[in-house]
Amino acid sequence: MFPVIGLVVLLVMVFGGFVFTGGALGPVMEAIPHEMIIIGGAAVGALIIGNSMKELKALGGGFVKVLKGPKYKKQDYLDTIFLVSKLMKMLRTDGPIALEPHVEDPQSSAIFSEYPRLLADHTLINLIADTLRLVVVSSGTLDVHAVEEVMDNAIKTHHHEVEGPQVTLQSLSDALPALGIVAAVLGVVKTMGSIDKPPSILGGMIGSALVGTFMGVLLAYGIVGPLASRLKQVIDADAAIYHVVKQIIIASLHGHPQPLVIEAARSGIAHSNQPNFGEVFDGLRGR
């Protein structure tokens, strides 16, 4: 919702300010469609040249993320803490054999099934199950630092993949001012071909050409650039839940007391989604 509100404010203030200071919107509105054919067409062409179909689809998903905001809410962090803590407690008290069926087939696990929203998140569940599967098959003999390195690589790989649309948007933002200049130059070329026209006509043609530069800069720094920045914020916010999983698993494998493990994971969550101490530990006592 906020991106839409911001876009409305941007357009109202830019064009409204232009009119308020005595500018005539007519020539600008008349020129925008023609300039956008060049700028927009060139931008789309550049996206197609520089990306595969998979990346272009991911870009569409990126726009959805911008509109929806971060995927994970406070309850998701609570459920993640409860789920991973319960699995680590089973590993500690009952051993790898008891844990094995749960991590081998999370979809059939009674523990995982308690958290249907998390169970539908394949990336999160795979991070938990694949890491604990390593611990199970090694019968607990793996070095904890090696497990941590595996988790770091998995998180880094996922983050690199999901930030692809943000990188694409930022690259497009960087290119748009130059594409606006391309449109402006073509407008100047057209104007020079009509140099014998009256000054009033030439002035309008030059003004139309300058609209190309204006649109390129406005799109880059007023719309596409901020969208790329917001998408990065959303991606970084969503990545926090994977670090909660890592914190609980690694600290538990180190043998730290469970209250310390849980509090370290809880305190690392952003305040907007951070459950309070009582919510976490009262919830754990009830499970």
Q: What is the DSSP letter of 48?
A: H
**Would you say residue 9 has pLDDT above 90?**
yes
Structure confidence at residue 237 as a pLDDT band (50, 70, 90): very high
pTM assigned to the model: 0.86
| Mean pLDDT value of segment 166-195 | 90
Which amino acid belongs to residue 126? N
Structure confidence at residue 165 as a pLDDT band (50, 70, 90): very high
Handedness of CA 272, 274, 278, 280 (dihedral sign): positive
**Would you say residue 287 has pLDDT above 60?**
no
> Distance between CA atoms of 205 and 216, rounded to whole angstroms?
18
Task: Find all residues with CB under 8 Å of 276, minimum gap 6, and list them.
Answer: none
What pLDDT score was predicted for residue 286?
Answer: 56
Tokens of 275: 């459950």
| Stretch among 49-53, 80-84, 169-173, 198-202 having the lowest mean pLDDT | 198-202
Q: What does the pLDDT look like over 72-109, one tens digit per residue?
A: 999 999 999 999 999 999 998 888 899 999 999 999 99
| Mean pLDDT value of segment 201-223 | 88
What pLDDT score was predicted for residue 25?
Answer: 87
